[in-house]
Structures are given as structure tokens and as C-alpha cells.
Amino acid sequence: FAPLQICGVPGDRSCAESPCGGALCRDSTGTRHCGGAGCSGALPVSARALSSARNASQQLEVALGQLSAVAQKMQEVQDLARGARSRAEEALGRSQAARSRTEKATAQLRDFIRRIKAFLAGRAGTGWAQGMVRGAVPALSPPRSNVPTEEGADPGSIELVARHVLNISLPSSPGRIQELLQEIQESIGQLDGVDAVLNSTAQGLAAAKELLAQGQNARERAEGVRDELAGTQRVLQMAQAQVTVAGSALQSAKDTIRAAESSAKEAERKLQALEGKESRLQRRLRELAQRVAALQERGQGARRLAQEAKEGAQRATAASGTLSQVSPSPAPGGFGCGTLSLTVPPCWQDLERMTQRYVLLKGRVSGLAGVSGGALQRVTQLTAEARDLLDKANSSKKKLEELEQHFGANEQAMTAKATQLQALERQVSGLLQEIQERANAYATC
């Protein structure tokens, strides 16, 4: 189910027969093969969506570049319009300054003419005329004159005033004044056009700014989509990496299971061999136990015989000591044992027979003791070998228990990996659905 959702093909086909590849498939160059043309898995669909988003992002970047160029040109036009307006305002300021100077000069000239009229009418004296000739500002009230005339002024003062009037020059010639007036009119006419240009430029600049803001918003949305696609690609790469890790884990788990199975078979074979050895050892131990029991019985019989022989020897020794104290008086019967010959068997023959039997029994007891000591040593050695085999069997059993625990841990890890893969499948499905929704939304915009 996971290869079908990720690569777009079921996972029951081999890599050579699958046109969309798979999680562990590679092409002839060694590159991982998952997806392709006509594949409906999450990875190929997200790759196509990412390519479309990149194309849309490039187109938006081109449009933003064009809008930036238009905005830059509009800014240049606005700067030119502002420069023209500032130059027009500067020319207007100069014209207004020239006009104010002209008006001031005209007022001064009128005042001067008025004063000349007053002077010629006789209301000013020579001192006022000389002051005016020297360039001093004449007072409004006429100065005192010591030499008034009936005609209004003396000839010397008139001559000084006449020379001063002849030497007066206007600040500008009439032609220059006319040129200044023409420039002022042209500047004023240009100001109207500049206002229109500035208004149209402002409108165009506002439209350009609005387009630029729209382009920036579109760029931000595209960058957001790019970030989301990049996040989706990272998630898909992580999912692909986790699929690879899961495949490696599955492969390693399979290898571990095979190794564990071989180890279990080897352990089972060893256990069977140990069971055979144990059964043979138990049979030998039973045989040895029987032989030991027989030897113990024979040893007890030998000890009993030896004890009886010893007691007989002691009795014979005691009887010989008693006989040695009686004087010899051979009887007609030929026993030759004193007065006790009628009731006791021949003592010397009996004693010799008892002594031989005692020696024989003592040798047999010594041989049985040696045989029983060797048997006990062999039994001890066999018991030690049996204990060693039992320890080996316990260790093999412990290894089998550890292998069972390892198998359980691997099974839990595989279950956890399967859960993670299911979660990744759900996440990739959600991302695929979100990408399709966004693609539909962008297609309908």
C-alpha cells in the first residue's frame, strides 16, 4: 500500500517490471527510481507540483522585474518633474525678487521726482541738493536755507540737481526688463504644464506603486507556496529516507531472522547431540551405579568374611595359647593336642587354614578396594563430564532465550516502523491533498 501511495505502483511487482519504480528500486545509473510520467503517487505528483510552482515563481519574478523597471522609470520621471518644478519655482522667485526691486526703484524714482518738484518749487535749500548729490538720503522736511530766492532755488543747486539727474541710471534697461517679464510669463506658463505633468506622474506613480505592491504580495504568496513546497519536498525526502531506512531495517531484520534461524537450527542440532550424549551418559551412569552397587555389596561381603576370618583367627590364637600351656600327652586317637583332643579339631591345621583364608580374604579385600577406588574415580569423572554437559545445555538454553528476546525486540521495532510508515503515509496523503487543493486554487485564480 505504501509504494502505491508514494511511487504510484503496487509493491507486488519487481523493479524491472514496475514503470514507476519503488522504495528500493534503482535505475541503470544507480539513481533511486520512484515515480515518473503517468505515475499517480505522492512523490511524482509533488515533483510536478513543485516544477509548476517553480515556473510560476519564475514568471512572477520576471513580472516583478518588469514592474520594478516601470516603477524606476516613473521615479525618474517624477524626479525630473520635481527638478523642473524646483527650477520653475527658483525662476519665479528670481522674477518676484526682480519685480520687487523694480517696484522699489519705481517708488524711489517717484519719491525722487516728488522731491525734485519740491526742490524746484523752492522748498529745499542748497544743503539738501548737495546731500542728494553726495548720495545721502534727503530728509522729508526741507533744510534751512540762508539764501532763499524768489524763483525757488539758486542756480548752483539747480545745476547740481541737474547733473545728478543726468547721472542717474536705471537698474535695468527697458529691453532687459522686457526680457525678464517675458521669462516670468514663460515660467508661469510652464508651471501650469508642470502641475499637469506632476499630477499625471503622481497618478502613474500611484498606479505603479499599487502594481508593485500587488506584485510584492504575489511574490510573497509565491514565496510562501515555495516555502510550503520546499517543506513538502523536505517531508517527502524525509519520508523517502525513512522508507529507505525502513527497507534497510527490514533487510537487516530479515538477515537477523535468517541468522537467528540458522543459530536456532544449530542450537537445536547441538541440543539433540547433547540429548544423545546425555542419554548415553545417563545409561552409563545407571550401569556404573549398578556396578558400584554390586561392588559395594561384594565389598561388604568381603568385609564380613574378613571380619569372620579375623574373629576365627583370634579364636584360633586364643586356643593355641591355651593349648601351649597344657603338657603334650598323645592320645591313642593320634590327635596330639593334649587333654582337649577329644573336643577340639586339630588346632595347628585349623590355625594354618584360618591364616591362609585370612590372607586370601585380605588380598581380595585389597583388590576390591583398588577396583572400587578406580570405579569411584571414573564415576566422579563421568559425573564431572555430566555436569559440564549440563552447564553447556543450560548456556544453550539461555542463548535460545536471549534469541527469543531479540526476536521479540525486532518484532516490536518492526511494528513501530510499520506504525511510523503508516503515519508518514497519512502525512504524505494530507500534503498531497493540500498540494492538489492549492494547485486547483491557483488554477482558478
Note whether 421 and 243 are within 8 A (CB).
Answer: yes
Residue 357 lies in a domain: no
Residue 208 lies in a domain: no
Note whether 92 and 84 are within 8 A (CB).
Answer: no
Give pLDDT tens digits along the chain (445 positions): 455 666 766 656 677 777 777 767 777 777 777 777 777 777 777 777 777 777 777 877 887 777 777 778 777 877 877 777 787 778 777 777 877 887 887 888 788 778 877 776 664 444 444 455 444 444 333 343 434 444 455 666 666 766 666 666 555 566 666 676 676 666 656 555 556 655 666 666 676 677 667 767 766 766 666 666 666 666 556 656 655 665 666 566 567 667 766 766 776 677 677 667 767 766 776 776 677 667 667 767 766 776 776 676 677 666 655 544 544 444 444 434 443 333 344 444 545 555 566 566 556 555 544 544 555 576 567 667 667 766 776 676 677 677 778 767 777 877 777 777 777 778 777 777 777 777 666 666 5
What lies within 8 Å, CB to CB, of 125 at 6+ separation is 142, 143, 144, 145, 146, 147, 148, 157
pLDDT, residue 342, reads 37
325/338 Cα distance (integer angstroms): 10
Helical pair 174-324 and 347-444, crossing angle rounded to 10 deg: 170
- The grid coordinates listed for 441 are 486554487
Residue 11 lies in a domain: yes
- Of 174, 172, 256, 232, nearest to 431 by C-alpha is 232
Residue 19 lies in a domain: yes
pLDDT, residue 18, reads 73
Residue 10 lies in a domain: yes
If one counts the domains in the chain, the total is 1
Give the type of residue at 313.
Answer: A
- Of 353, 81, 356, nearest to 203 by C-alpha is 81
CA distances from 71 to 21, 59, 78, 184, 260 (A): 50, 18, 10, 34, 74
Residue 354 lies in a domain: no
Task: Convert the pLDDT of each residue in 55-80 to its tens digit.
Answer: 777 877 887 777 777 778 777 877 87
Q: State the residue range of the domain holding 3.
A: 1-39
pLDDT, residue 333, reads 41
Q: Which H or E run includes 26?
A: strand 21-26
Residue 27 lies in a domain: yes
Residue 430 lies in a domain: no
Q: What is the DSSP letter of 142?
A: P
pTM equals 0.29
Task: Convert the pLDDT of each residue in 136-154 to its tens digit.
Answer: 444 333 343 434 444 455 6
